[in-house]
Amino acid sequence: MIKRTLFFGNPAYLSTRNEQLVVKFPAEEKAEVTIPIEDLGYIVLEDPQITITNGLLMKLVQNKTAVITCDKQHLPCSLLQPLVGHTEQTERIRYQLDASLPLKKNLWQQTVQAKIENQAAHLKGRSKSELKLKRWASEVKSGDSENHEAFAAAYYFQNIYTDLVPEFSRNQKGIAPNNLLNYGYAILRAVVARALVSSGMLPSVGIFHRNKYNAFCLADDIMEPYRIYVDAVVYEILETGANVEELTTAIKSQLLTIPALDVFIDDKWSPLMTAVSRTTNSLHDCFKGGSRKILYPQFLINTS
């Protein structure tokens, strides 16, 4: 079942009753709203005047619902996750921590290849040349020792949005649509972190990323081939001619559809949140020694 994503951008009182999320809006004179907690995958809390009860937080965590809070710039800044995400968590973490360096280099090679191939497919889908990226994808070595990931990313962002925003360059603090990309990537990061915990692994211990100040190194590794879906949503928003200087409620609503997007993985279409879980489960199989291949999606346009 596809889990729902809820966004709260106004003051609200959130509590629980009978396994339901109960929502009350103090500024509106209307009856309370109830939603089954078991249906929820992600909750985004933006307004600083939102009140949430500890009883509700407990039930959301037990349901493995990711609770995301936002900062003053309206960007996701924290993620509430359960301490125990899988019944075999201790064993699975041990496999993760004991993973050999050659295995991690191989997994990073597969990750970079999948990311660049998806970037190439996105360029091709927008009637732009993808040949250089296809060549780089085929040349990625173990551990990406020649840093093809960085070269490909620079080339990709120099070309993907230039027909819509000629002066665009990828920079977190740069001009729009960087603000949309930042928001979308933050949501994607939460999706991946949730899936990693559910698969019994530590999001902080990566296969490539290893910044000691980053609590989501593994999430940042695994989300790389999935970034393309954020890029595609942002492209479609730009095509509408919408003003993207500010993250409006309408734009956020589109970006919050990312967890439910259809993606093509293992020869079938699946919601992105389901596909990410398949990826994290395949990663565990690699850590355990049952497989040498991590499962990633192939970027296609769903015409069904």
The answer to whether 167 is annotated as binding is no
Cα angle vertex 222, ends 221, 224, to 5°?
A: 75
Quick check: helix, strand or coil at residue 128?
A: coil
CB 32 within 8 A of CB 22: yes
Task: For residue 249, count CB atoms less than 10 angstroms from its CB and return exposed for 0-12, middle for 13-18, buried for 19 or more.
Answer: exposed
**DSSP states of 1-19 as a string?**
-PPEEEEE-S--EEEEETT
Phi, psi (deg, nearest 5) at residue 138: -75, -15
The answer to whether 130 is annotated as binding is no
Residues in the chain: 304
Closest CA to 176 of 191, 161, 159, 188: 161
The answer to whether 74 is annotated as binding is no
Give the Å distances, CA to CA, from 250 to 5, 65, 188, 189, 259: 15, 23, 18, 21, 17
Quick check: helix, strand or coil at residue 221?
A: helix
Pairing of strands 40-45, 4-8: parallel
Give the residue numbers of the binding site for Mn(2+): 149, 209, 224
Give the residue numbers of the binding site: 149, 209, 224
